[in-house]
Structure 1
Amino acid sequence: MTSVTTTCRDLAELLPAAQTACRLLFQECYKAGISNIFITETYRSQERQNYLYAQGRTRPGQIVTWTLQSNHKSRLAWDIAVGPPQSLYDVATLGKVGAIARKLGITWGGDWVGNIDRPHFEVKSNWTPPKGYKLEGQVVVPSNSKMQVQLIVEDKPKEENALTNTTWNPESPAMETAAEAFLAQAIQEGVIQASHLKDLQNKHMTTDRLLGLYITIQQRRNNN
């Protein structure tokens, strides 16, 4: 069990509808030229919500939440922040993200009356992408300010897509171990999220996605 002081930033901890909504939001932000945003929290337990609510009330510090009930604990909400060169919660950037969220049917905390929460986004459990919107490729959703949003779309012949969209099967224990070690190192470096390694271990990783991750990791390492 994680500590109440620990923030969960793993997109895989959200319900499927929220995962898709979040990825679609980051995709559309990327297409709009907003690539310096990142996840600061996804799932939040009731114990952590109680802990945060106590801050500024029965525990020292400034008030950070006004409710004991949150869609974070329902795995349907996520918070974001803004990376350099803007400030962490740059109002202009969050406003642009909020406008995109509205088009996608995603609730933005910046639209709330009274208790405005600009970094907060959430959906209902039955949310589906609006007409005209879909995930167009592998969306890299950053979990820290060192990363940038990316959309990896590979334009390949249908015959090749039929091959690469299948689940990756190295048929070699040594190669599988090497791939796991490669992703684990990238997670430790903060380049990718832990959910990618989980998908690899659970046999949910496709060949084209693994290739895209490899390219992304190498690019990040070169830039650093």
Structure 2
Amino acid sequence: MSISTTCRDVNELLPVAQRACKLLFQECYKAGIRNIFITETYRSQERQNYLYAQGRTRPGQIVTWTLDSKHKSRLAWDIAVGPPQSLHDVVTLNKVGAIARKLNITWGGDWLGSIDRPHFEVTGNWRLPKGHQLEDMMTIPSSSQAKEEIKMTGWNPASPAMQTAAELFLAQAVKEGIIQASHLKDLQNKQLTTDRLLGLFITINQRRNH
């Protein structure tokens, strides 16, 4: 995998982190927070070095404050928020962070100095908290998973026909009352980013399945 490629596969985490991540998403769903998704899981040391260089010796904004991250140990994951909120909506991430605390999952939003609200991690000896049970069929959405689902349904972001297919998909979701018409208007005006479109795809499918 290239150092510029993001790994979003939960299965790349250690089993203990997989269980913690699944439990966090499960409890968030129960609390009505269903528009969150995974943006990164495992990172190699080479990718960590690459990200650390951003904003320092490489152009861009600083995205990490360390060369030594739990991502390298396969014990950490990052999330983002789907529409109608922004990708790093503070209100939503604070709610997820509060749930994480109850599950003994470390939340980057609690760190002093280098606050990292999208970040969650556990230690290698994390255990399922008393009173909680992990559902066997729990699945965790990611933007890469959304891309695969889009590809399977013929809704390929790289296809020239995407605009028409996406408009039909969002129009139906607007009709069902799942999303606001403003999202469809932004797509029609070519003001909808790919990440936001993927977030909408995840949100729509989740709400249709619940």
Task: Report if TM-score (shorter chain) is over 0.5.
Answer: yes
Counterpart amino acid of residue 57 in structure 1: R
Which residue number in structure 2 is paired with residue 7 of structure 1?
6
Equivalence for 1:83: 82
d(CA) in 1 for partners of 2:152, 2:110? 35
Q: Counterpart in 1 of 2:68?
A: 69
Question: Residues 86 and 189 (structure 1 numbering): CA distance in 2 closer, same or farther, change over 3 Å?
Answer: farther
Residues 127 and 146 of structure 1, relative CA distance in 2, 3 Å threshold? closer
Structure 1 residue 146: Cα displacement: 8.8
Please tell me the residue identity of whatever aligns with 1:104.
L
| Distance across 1 between alignment mates of 2:43 and 2:145 | 23
Does the 8 Å CA contact 2:49/2:67 hold for their aligned counterparts?
A: yes
Alignment check: 8 A CA contact 2:16 2:124 kept: yes
Secondary structure of the equivalent of 2:49? helix
Alpha-carbon deviation of 1:140?
1.8
1:52 is aligned to 51
Change (3 A) 1:90 1:186: closer
Residue type of the partner of 1:141? I
TM-score by length of 1: 0.66
Q: Give the direction of change, closer, same or farther, for the CA distance of 1:135–1:187 in structure 2 (3 Å limit).
A: farther
Match of 1:39 in 2: 38
Q: Deviations over 1:47-98 (max 9, x none)?
A: 0000000011111111111100000000000000000010000000000000
Please list, as runs of the form range in 1=range in 2, the aligned pairs for 1:72-221 lying within 5 A after superposition.
72-144=71-143, 186=149, 188-189=151-152, 220=205
The 4+ residue runs of structure 1 with deviation greater than 3 A are 185-190
Residue pair 1:8, 1:41 contacting (<8 A) in 2 also: yes
In the aligned structure 2, how far is the partner of 1:46 from the partner of 1:188? 31
For 2:150 and 2:46, locate their aligned partners in 1 and report how far apart those are by CA, in whole Å. Answer: 27
What are the superposed Cα offsets for residues 122-152 of structure 1, whole Å, 9 maximum, x if unpaired? 00011011100111341120002996xxxxx
Deviation at 1:189, TM superposition (A): 3.7
1:133 and 1:33 mapped to 2: Cα distance? 17
State the AA in 1 paired with 2:55.
G
Decide whether the 8 Å contact of 1:108 with 1:120 is kept in 2.
yes
* RMSD between aligned residues: 2.0
CA contact (8 A) 2:36 2:79 kept: yes
SS at match of 1:47: helix
Q: Are the counterparts in 1 of residues 8 and 144 from structure 2 also a CA contact under 8 Å?
A: no
Residues 106-135 of structure 1 deviation map (CA, whole Å, 9 limit, x = unaligned)? 000000000000000000011011100111
- Separation of aligned partners in 2, 1:33 and 1:145: 23
| SS of corresponding position for 1:138 | coil
Distance (Å, rounded) in 2 between the aligned partners of 1:22 and 1:108 = 12
**Structure 2 unaligned regions, length at least 5:** 154-203
* Number of residues of Structure 1 aligned to a counterpart in Structure 2: 155
Equivalent residue number for residue 202 of structure 1: none
User: Which amino acid counterpart does residue 51 of structure 1 have in structure 2?
Assistant: Y
